[in-house]
Structure 1
């Protein structure tokens, strides 16, 4: 819609703003619409919330999400602010759709060249009861999850959900989650979860049962997201087989772990999961403190960082570069970190060409994990030859060639003067190629042929064809 000159009547102004809102909603290229919008000066006199049934209007009093539209001085500012407001309201978890229209106001403007308008938000509330069945991919395993959720329970955006999941690796869990959006702009999310989980480890030959509480506060800001999480868990560590080595059996029994973890994440890959090959940068940094002043039987400090950069080479080729590193140190000289808290490396989603957890120290063919690790991957993705299924299902498949490298240390001392050189001693290298299937832009399913170029006697390599399903790939 192209408009020349200034809006002459209130009806013209309403049509102009409503059309501008629709146009900006559909605009994805970031065009400058200033040339096609009217020069009419306007002010928003009042914002109306219609269609509320269970939701309390007082829940939105004094919220800063309305500031952009209330400060609008022309049609373009109002249209852009209205679109942002609509997306913010839909993200609150109360409404499934919000329609925005502009109507004439009964208030008189302070200046004769200014028009006063009312912004009308026609809100359609979400159903209170929701149920979903999801399929998820983990470390070379598939799991199903059933979730029952009550939304907007008390009329202020509260959520209660119960979930049950079971995987092909016989890992099962129950969870009861309570969620609430906080702060003046609804950007801060509070989540409290009660969890009971059974997590057997077949690579280390032990069983782990967890039961406890997790409280988490997260807040996104532009492309950044910071999360602070507290976890208090009762652990029951059990080794069902006598073949489990003594070094792992030492962790057997009941224990309590109390930990505080801070995560700072950045992503410029809009709407892309960790397995997607959309261009951009992903970064995640974690710091976890367990025990010490927090109490519990486990005392350690764990640091981990992950970085992935994907660049478009051409319309049919991309390159991906990943770098991960982590270190865990015991705060109790008499007791090293439990095997549950160590790092493991190797597998289809990690350094390919090795079994799950197959890179690093082992005891009786059981992965023992390590206190320090680093890994890196370089992959080149290209479209399938002749583009079968172009524009539909075929676009989810890519050919890729890769080179992975990494190292895992049972113990590592960063106080030594040559620690940088020691990080590279005994590094493992793998090259290969295969087919990458980006399943529903969520999970990565890969069929690769792997050639380990460097291994150590303690490793469990897996040369040749390797099939893997992962949420996060190197």
Structure 2
């Protein structure tokens, strides 16, 4: 049978064929063929070596013996999906066709197939500008993206932004796939930023860079392993800055290795993602690497959020949980002996604000020195919420009414004062650190956490989630800064 059979790499689907044709279709897909050639059209700016990494496995499998059209279809679908993930071709315009020559090859009684793949390359230069939203911050940005620089799906992205908290930020990232695999990328970053931190009476300036290897598993989980070196300046102190902030003011160099894991199993069919879960972990080992730096610690966090729909349309129940610990280490990571410094304000956790524990100010939970939130070394936070459709909008609307309750606890390492009492070196021994961390964890799990509850309106936009909540603090410790009444939250990740 001569002719062509079009295959769409992302939408190949034969289920639309009427049932009476199913036996004929099955017979057609099971017919043996040999693959004679694969041609790629439209990849004028892409190196052949990159295409060979994607297409050679198809040729090698076909060289082992005759194949069926069904097997070839599956391999071509996988190849076209891989081509789209390079982000250098227009994903909806990768067209694959298979042509049956209608006659057997010279060495076999099995007919031959020719494969033609047509791609449309995206523009090599993309300029963007606009507004962006992160947790508790909005910014204006410009971005320039250079695609397929050397023909191997390399990308250079240059960003500049200024926002409500970040006075200025400049970032350049060069990334390239490894071994022609779009799911494994090596990236090099350079950054410089200046950020206001009014809750702790200072600004932080960062200058540095990192090397990052990212990969995605067959199950769809994302991993990232990075080495970074950052020069940090804690400066522009407010007139009323506390002694704790002043002690950490000045320059600091951090050299660290970080691993990040993300498993996202949320339903992407709607803007609010009202079913499924996302798990994220991040572990950082500081004081390691050629730069070493002047801080040394192990810092680990776990974030888990999930939701499930109820019987009524548009109604769902969700919850979130976060926990983290920062454990000071001795330089060289030798446990016995002395030389362990307490954590700095640059590295500690903050808790409280409209995107995590609502009903409290940003950094409103946990240790304080005067008016300043100085952060903690151990924290846990959790929350539950119910989303309900806004009357007369329907379950498909991005608007929801929210009823929530959340709480958390942020605790500092308990023996920091001993470092100052024991001399200028301001260091501790491993036993003192261990006892201090045990005391902090014990305080974390004893007694009620700081709690709040409330009701609000949620709008899920494709760039961020917007919340207008009325919050009522229920439990707060002495010195913690609550926020009773209306609170606006804009961000991507909420508790």
Judge same fold: TM > 0.5, yes or no.
yes
CA–CA distance in structure 1, aligned partners of residues 493 and 8 of structure 2: 40
CA–CA distance in structure 2, aligned partners of residues 131 and 293 of structure 1: 36
1:320 match:
318
TM alignment of 1:204-223, pairs within 5 A: 204-221=200-217, 222-223=219-220
1:357 match:
363
Structure 1 residues 457 and 262: CA distance shift in structure 2, 3 A: same
Picking from 261, 265, 276, the partner of 2:258 is: 261
Of the structure 1 ranges 281-290 and 262-271, higher mean CA displacement relative to structure 2 is found in 262-271
1:57 match:
48
Q: 5+ unaligned residues in a row in structure 2: which ranges? A: 331-338, 415-434
Picking from 371, 374, 384, the partner of 1:378 is: 384
TM alignment of 1:9-20, pairs within 5 A: 9-11=1-3, 14-15=4-5, 18=6
Alpha carbons 1:150, 1:159 under 8 Å: kept: yes
Picking from 47, 58, 61, the partner of 2:38 is: 47
Alpha carbons 2:234, 2:249 under 8 Å: kept: yes
Alpha carbons 1:131, 1:147 under 8 Å: kept: yes
TM alignment of 1:37-436, pairs within 5 A: 37=26, 38=28, 39-63=30-54, 66-67=57-58, 70=61, 73-96=67-90, 97-104=93-100, 108=105, 112=109, 114-221=110-217, 222-269=219-266, 271=268, 276-292=272-288, 294=290, 295-314=292-311, 315-332=313-330, 334-387=340-393, 395-411=397-413, 416=438, 419=441, 422-436=444-458
1:453 match:
474
CA–CA distance in structure 1, aligned partners of residues 410 and 115 of structure 2: 59
Alpha carbons 1:24, 1:80 under 8 Å: kept: no
When normalised by structure 2's length, the TM-score is 0.84
Q: How far did 1:70 drift?
A: 4.7
When normalised by structure 1's length, the TM-score is 0.87
CA–CA distance in structure 2, aligned partners of residues 104 and 408 of structure 1: 67
Q: How far did 1:375 drift?
A: 0.5
Alpha carbons 1:69, 1:81 under 8 Å: kept: no
CA–CA distance in structure 1, aligned partners of residues 454 and 56 of structure 2: 50
Structure 1 residues 284 and 200: CA distance shift in structure 2, 3 A: same
Q: How far did 1:387 drift?
A: 2.0
Structure 1 residues 119 and 409: CA distance shift in structure 2, 3 A: same
Q: How far did 1:186 drift?
A: 2.8
CA–CA distance in structure 2, aligned partners of residues 110 and 312 of structure 1: 60
CA–CA distance in structure 2, aligned partners of residues 55 and 334 of structure 1: 52
Q: How far did 1:83 drift?
A: 2.8
Alpha carbons 1:217, 1:228 under 8 Å: kept: yes
Alpha carbons 1:47, 1:121 under 8 Å: kept: yes
1:4 match:
none
CA–CA distance in structure 2, aligned partners of residues 341 and 421 of structure 1: 21
SS in structure 2 of the partner of residue 82 of structure 1: helix
Structure 1 residues 367 and 250: CA distance shift in structure 2, 3 A: same
Alpha carbons 1:21, 1:80 under 8 Å: kept: no
1:44-83 CA-to-partner distances (Å, cap 9, x unmatched) read 3332111121212122224478449956943333334333
CA–CA distance in structure 1, aligned partners of residues 107 and 22 of structure 2: 25
**Does the alignment pair 1:466 with 2:460?**
no
2:465 match:
444
Of the structure 1 ranges 38-47 and 404-413, higher mean CA displacement relative to structure 2 is found in 38-47
Alpha carbons 1:283, 1:307 under 8 Å: kept: yes
Q: How far did 1:189 drift?
A: 1.0
SS in structure 2 of the partner of residue 347 of structure 1: coil
Q: How far did 1:19 drift?
A: 6.3
1:3 match:
none
